[in-house]
Chains A and B, each alone.
Chain A
Amino acid sequence: MIARLAENVSLRAAIALVLLLLALFVAPWFANDYLLTVLILIFYFAYTGQAWNIMMGFAGQLSLGHAIYIGLGAYTTAVLFSFFGVSPWVGSFAAILMAALWGAMIGFLAFRFRVGGVYFAILTIAFAEFARIGFDHLSYVGGSAGFFLPVANYTQSDLWTLRGKPIMFYYLSLGMTVAAVVLCHIMVRSRLGYFWKAIREDEEAARAVGINTFRYKLIAVVISAAMTSLAGVFFAFYYNNLFPEEVFSINRSIELILAPIFGGLGTLFGPILGAFMLTGLAETLTTTLAALGVDVPGAKQVFYGICLLLVITVLPEGVWPWLYRRLGLAGRSE
């Protein structure tokens, strides 16, 4: 198992990876609460980016509506916890089932009716928007007034109910990200991963060599949706409040795809690097502007937009593939 994981990873890359993991593991002892929340945000984006990357980076299906899976995961576990006292760990199974079913339905309809390219992307937006307005009118979960998880003043963290201090959420998000990377690493190097890449590169050719493209595209959507729903669970229990306008918003869908594209589509480390860079950039801008005494709402986002524009113009493949070559991390292949 370990040997298989280490396949195609050069020694330098492996050492760098172990050092990075160690640093992240001990980080809470040195980081203050602010830095910890920034790191949690980074891992949230790294994880969702990884999940989205399965669909777009590996199988080549552009989804711009992943907010629907965030929202379904968040609402499912939040309702089960608040109304029925079900632990989020158990509720996650329901969340995964819910998101996987929706993903399967969207994927089935889209691929059966041959909705591709830009049209597929817009179809995913349509479903997410439909869900947003639907949840706005679902009085069972509070509608547009929002849904709130019970919050008490916890002095210590309760892992079973996910009520507690940032440090618990830090390790949870770190664990989720590592698990996602390992899972993706295994999938990419499996038969499934090669089928996906074949579909991504040339769907006609993939079909011609006998790959059931419909089936493997559907699998990509279902896995991606199921993984994204867990980010929704995290979202619900970390923030403790859910508004359809926020959870299902198109902005949610867009922000989670920036990191993988920025970092490098279809790479394992791209989404993580992208999350670090983009979240780091946003936070640096906040503190810099505050230090300079600039208190203009929107100024930070304008700089953020300009940086995004510059990087996508200069490095269209993303930062990681470029850095990878620069650092000489390439092993035998890749």
Chain B
Amino acid sequence: MSTDIYLNVAVSGVLTGLVYGLMALGLSVIFGVVRVVNFAHGEMTTVAMYFAVVLFATLGLDPLLMMVPIAGVLFVFGYAMQRWLINPFISRPEHSQFILLVAVAIILANGLLIVFGPDARSVQTSYAFDSFKIGPLIVDATKAFAGLAAIAVAAALFAFFRFTRLGTAIRACADNYTGAQVIGLNVPRLYALTFGLGAACVGAAGAMLALVTDVTPPLGPSFTLLAFVIVIVGGLGSMSGALAGGILIGVIAALAGLFYTPSAKGMFVFAILVLVLLFRPQGIFGRRA
């Protein structure tokens, strides 16, 4: 019986971890190519969550389906932001980029506060309390759908980067900035595209997160930090690492909540982050640069 509990908690951690991993994947893609750390990542996630909440509350549209249009909206937002706001900052020092993105984060978080107020919102779907029984496992339906959708989105992104000409061009920019310019790639446009794709990941992940947790405007920084942790544990710039890191952090957080106390699980997460930064800065799953 007791092992069943651990197994159930671990599976739940894997599924939530996949969704967080998808969010972190956006951060990783942006950093891996554009070399900008998106400190407004969590705020973009909360924006996507509010989209999902509003679409469900007003039109009754399921976030699992709305994840596609929401990702589209975030893509446009990310593209425009990189093109006109961040691009002049590409060659500026990190602290300058940091302030820029902190300013964006402040505007987004408080814009949400103005529009939606401070109350927590959530999505209550008809299948919110459904679950699947697989042997000794009881899997929450919402989390199962969200986890599978996260895998699907990530797979689509992998395929895009690996098999399309555009994806190859973006990887060329990431590998060799000068070389990419020399062979005539429109680097600013590809950067904007990459930022848009990263934002689209956030959009999809945000729509799914709306199913799993309540959303309030000041939730952003905690999501940003979580994305940092996942991405660094998995290897900054590594795509598969972000998903694997998401799963690992999801499981560790869930088990730490079970073994110790849920409010202290963040301590374990940050302890792991410190250890990884010190002993394996390329990430557990990353290759040495």
Q: Which chain A residues have a beta carbon within 8 Å of chain B's beta carbons?
A: 56, 62, 64, 109-110, 113-115, 117-119, 121-123, 125-127, 129-130, 133-134, 136-137, 144, 250-251, 254, 257-258, 261-262, 265, 296-302, 304-306, 308-309, 312-313, 316
B114 within 8 A of partner (CB): yes
CB-defined A-B contacts under 8 Å, sample of 10: A109-B274, A113-B279, A115-B277, A118-B236, A298-B114, A301-B106, A312-B96, A313-B85, A316-B89, A316-B92
A130 touching B263, Cβ below 8 Å? no
The A-contacting residues of B in range 83-118, CB under 8 angstroms, are 85, 88-89, 92, 94-96, 98-100, 102-107, 109-114, 117-118
* Given A296-B114, A313-B88, A130-B106 contact (CB < 8 Å): no
Pair count A-B, CB < 8 A: 128
B128 within 8 A of partner (CB): no
Extra inter-chain contacts (7) besides given A302-B107, A313-B88, CB under 8 Å = A125-B225, A137-B263, A298-B113, A299-B114, A302-B114, A309-B107, A316-B96
Interface size class of B (residues with CB under 8 A): 35 or more
Residues of B within 8 A of A129 (CB): 225, 266, 270
Residues of B within 8 A of A62 (CB): 94-95, 98
Kindly supply a per-residue 1/0 record for chain B positions 260-281, scoring 1 wherever the CB is within 8 Å of any chain A CB and 0 otherwise.
Answer: 0101101100110110011101
A133 touching B267, Cβ below 8 Å? yes
* Given A298-B217, A305-B103, A312-B103, A130-B274 contact (CB < 8 Å): yes
* Given A125-B228, A136-B263, A115-B278 contact (CB < 8 Å): yes
B221 within 8 A of partner (CB): yes
Would you list the 9 A-B pairs with minimal beta carbon distance, nearest first?
Answer: A298-B113, A305-B106, A298-B110, A305-B107, A301-B110, A309-B103, A308-B103, A298-B114, A130-B270
Residue of B nearest to A307 (CB): B103
B281 touching A115, Cβ below 8 Å? yes
Q: Which residue of the partner chain, among B96, B104, B232, B278, contacts A113 with CB atoms under 8 Å?
A: B278
A133 touching B281, Cβ below 8 Å? no
A206 to B254, CA, bound (A): 46
Residues of A within 8 A of B114 (CB): 296-299, 302
A146 to chain B, nearest CB (A): 15
* Given A123-B277, A130-B271, A137-B113 contact (CB < 8 Å): no
Residues of A within 8 A of B284 (CB): none
B37 within 8 A of partner (CB): yes
Residues of A within 8 A of B37 (CB): 118
A316 to B86, CA, bound (A): 13
Residues of A within 8 A of B96 (CB): 261, 312, 316
Q: Which residue of the partner chain, among A119, A133, A299, contacts B270 with CB atoms under 8 Å?
A: A133
A308 to B229, CA, bound (A): 27
Which of B103, B104, B263 has the most chain A CB atoms inside 10 A of its CB?
A: B103
What is the predominant secondary structure among interface residues of chain A facing chain B? helix
A133 touching B266, Cβ below 8 Å? yes
A134 to B264, CA, bound (A): 8
A109 touching B278, Cβ below 8 Å? yes
A133 to B89, CA, bound (A): 34
B274 touching A123, Cβ below 8 Å? yes
Which of B107, B266, B279 has the most chain A CB atoms inside 10 A of its CB?
A: B107
Which of A110, A250, A308 has the most chain B CB atoms inside 10 A of its CB?
A: A308
A214 to chain B, nearest CB (A): 15
B110 touching A305, Cβ below 8 Å? yes
Residues of B within 8 A of A261 (CB): 95-96, 99
B210 to chain A, nearest CB (A): 20
A321 to chain B, nearest CB (A): 13
Residue of B nearest to A57 (CB): B95
B264 to chain A, nearest CB (A): 6
A122 touching B110, Cβ below 8 Å? no
Residues of A within 8 A of B278 (CB): 109-110, 113, 115, 123
B42 to chain A, nearest CB (A): 10
B13 to chain A, nearest CB (A): 18
A319 to chain B, nearest CB (A): 13
A300 to B114, CA, bound (A): 10
Residues of A within 8 A of B232 (CB): 119, 122
Residues of B within 8 A of A133 (CB): 263-264, 266-267, 270
B288 to chain A, nearest CB (A): 13
A297 to B112, CA, bound (A): 10
Residues of B within 8 A of A113 (CB): 277-279, 281
A119 to B277, CA, bound (A): 7
Residues of A within 8 A of B100 (CB): 309, 312-313
A250 touching B225, Cβ below 8 Å? yes
Residues of B within 8 A of A305 (CB): 103-107, 110
A144 to B95, CA, bound (A): 31
A207 to B104, CA, bound (A): 38
Residues of B within 8 A of A144 (CB): 263
A185 to B105, CA, bound (A): 34
A218 to B111, CA, bound (A): 40
Residues of A within 8 A of B112 (CB): 298
A88 to B159, CA, bound (A): 61
